[in-house]
Amino acid sequence: MRAIVNTPGGTAPVELREIPEPNPGPHEVLVAVRAFSFNRGELRSFVNNEAGWIPGQDISGVVLKPAANGLGPSEGTRVVALTDEFGWAEQVAVPVHRIVPIPDNVSFAQAATLPVAGLTALRCVRLGGALVGRRVLITGAAGGVGTLAIQIAAHSGAHVTAVVGRPERAAGLGELGADDVVHGIESATGRFSLVLESGGGSSLSAALQRIEPKGTVVVYGNSSGEPSTISFQDFRAAQNARIQSFFYFTSGAEEQFAPDLALLVSLIADGNLRPVIGIEQDWAQLATVAESLRGRQVAGKAVFRTGNS
Ligand SMILES: NC(=O)c1ccc[n+]([C@@H]2O[C@H](COP(=O)([O-])OP(=O)(O)OC[C@H]3O[C@@H](n4cnc5c(N)ncnc54)[C@H](OP(=O)(O)O)[C@@H]3O)[C@@H](O)[C@H]2O)c1
């Protein structure tokens, strides 16, 4: 089969190659991958992993072979799954507790946007507790996590302020549910019950200036790569506010991945969540699209079709 293989130091970070097919364990489902999506964090993993490694966490496709233990979806079921790695391939083996069926009215491309970005958006919003009538600030709002988080927070009853880096990045965010869109977090006025912060550096420092007393700043990314300084004085006007880190992989029990993924899929099926797919390309274009993502040119998610599509 073919897969995207890591090529650090090569002319491109990855290339398509022939590799052996996976050999699923008894608790794993074999999936013919139709689509997958790409996360900003995976740009780093090209550098941090060895040559020959196969990336890929967000996949959708069709079950080729059900798990031998009798659990999970049957042959021919359309599915979406969260894998640790190895997903950017024509076939991948997925543990039964990380895979859920997708209804006919949800496309492979839409479903593939969900595992990492959707779980992150859903669980970060939940960290704010009950949000009816509360103000929520979302940095990196035009990106993969941000465009999903805007919708989930708005459906939770929050008043949502979205932060973008350039005016053109604001396009479409109002329709997703953002009440206000600001250019740069410094333009966000007032205080917020919940801030989803992924910029890092001066963005995190500015977030702390905008949190309410007892509010929560969820720190889930550092897209700028910059450090931040904080001091006790930052909390003088926001007493007992907290900074909460978030890592999607350890943010809940393993058995919670499938129910949360199923919830996200059902929101799309019901018309309550609309993944923004800024780029949908054949997987041969991955290295080029990686540069667009690095350059903050992708609105929402980048999705790829594999050789099975
Ligand atoms: N902790 C976790 O479990 C977890 C899970 C998923 C993602 N993440 C992290 O969360 C962040 C967002 O992920 P994503 O997949 O939504 O990424 P993305 O699609 O690339 O979106 C990130 C957005 O952040 C904005 N941004 C602001 N400052 C930036 C900077 N200095 N460099 C690059 N982008 C900047 C960009 O929008 P503008 O150009 O409009 O500012 C960009 O659209 C990333 O840092 C990612 O690594 C963490």
**What are 21-74's pLDDT values in tens digits?**
999 999 999 999 999 999 999 999 999 999 999 999 999 999 999 999 999 999
Instruction: Kindly state the helix (H) or strand (E) to which residue 291 belongs, with its residue range.
Output: helix 286-294
Ligand 1 atom with least separation from CA of 44: 47
The protein residue with its alpha carbon nearest to ligand 1, atom 30, reads 224
Please tell me if the CB atom of residue 219 comes closer than 6 angstroms to any atom of ligand 1: no
Above 90 in pLDDT, residue 10?
no
What pLDDT, in 10s, does the model give residues 179-191?
999 999 999 999 9
Check if 304 has its Cβ closer than 6 Å to any atom of ligand 1.
no
Tokens of 198: 């992924």
For residue 204, CA distances in Å to 33, 161, 220, 224, 229 come to 37, 16, 11, 10, 9
Residue nearest to atom 23 of ligand 1 (CA): 140
- What is the per-residue pLDDT across 105-152, written as a single tens digit (0 to 9) for each? 999 999 999 999 999 999 999 999 999 999 999 999 999 999 999 999
**46 C-beta neighbours (distance < 10 Å), count:** 17
> What distance in Å separates the CA atoms of residue 48 and residue 52, rounded to the nearest whole number?
12
- Which atom of ligand 1 is found nearest the CA of 226? 31
> pTM to 2 decimals?
0.98
142 ligand 1 Cβ < 6 A: yes
Ligand 1 within 6 A of 38 CB? no
Ligand 1 atom closest to Cα of residue 41: 47
Taking only the tens place, the pLDDT of each residue in 192-251 is 999 999 999 999 999 999 999 999 999 999 999 999 999 999 999 999 999 999 999 999
